[in-house]
Amino acid sequence: MLPASPAALPTSNAISAAPRWFSPPMAGHSLFPLGPRLDMTSRTFRSSFVVEAKKATRRENQTWRHTRIRKKVEGTPERPRLSVFRSNKHLHVQVIDDSKMHTLATASTMQKAISQEVPFSSGPTMEVARKIGETIAKACMEKGITKVVFDRGGFYYHGRIQAIADAARENGLDF
């Protein structure tokens, strides 16, 4: 017995769930606006995704500089590393023996002796940086440390970082 209508006849593509009249659009057709497409005129593959370079932040640049410096600078018992960290509110300086992973001396604007002696309200100034340099040099001299390796911590050797280094040199540290 024959079916009543031609639509009831089985299709040649019985596996597909799509109707027989549907055919998928060609590559590059407007039904696929976001995906990759084939440009038929030049026969090259074009991607519709746009890749833009992201500009690195100042903090990322500082971290990369610090990583490069730390590959070269290492503190030893004979010549420990004088590490400087600068934030908007405070300055921190440490003398570190990297072989034993010990901090030998430290000076910071968070220490009471320095913060009461040189008052500052909005952040450490050049005067405060010089005082930190003097303090760290005196602490090193008391412990018998005269030679250090200067680690600027990825910060530019300018301003407060330079003031710390100059004050430490003036008070007897050799680097």
Give the residue extent of every domain in the chain: 73-170
The order of strands in the sheet holding 102-108 is: 102-108, 91-97, 81-86, 149-151
Per-position b or e across 138-167, b if 16+ CB within 10 A of its CB: ebbeeeebeebbbbbbbbeeeebbbbbbeb
pLDDT tens per residue across all 175 residues of the chain:
555 555 555 555 545 565 565 555 555 555 545 555 555 555 555 556 777 788 899 999 999 999 999 999 999 999 999 999 999 999 999 999 999 999 999 999 999 988 888 888 888 899 999 999 999 999 999 999 999 999 999 999 999 999 999 999 999 999 9
pLDDT of residue 45: 54
The reply to whether CATH 3.40.50.2300 applies to domain 73-170 is: no
pLDDT of residue 93: 98
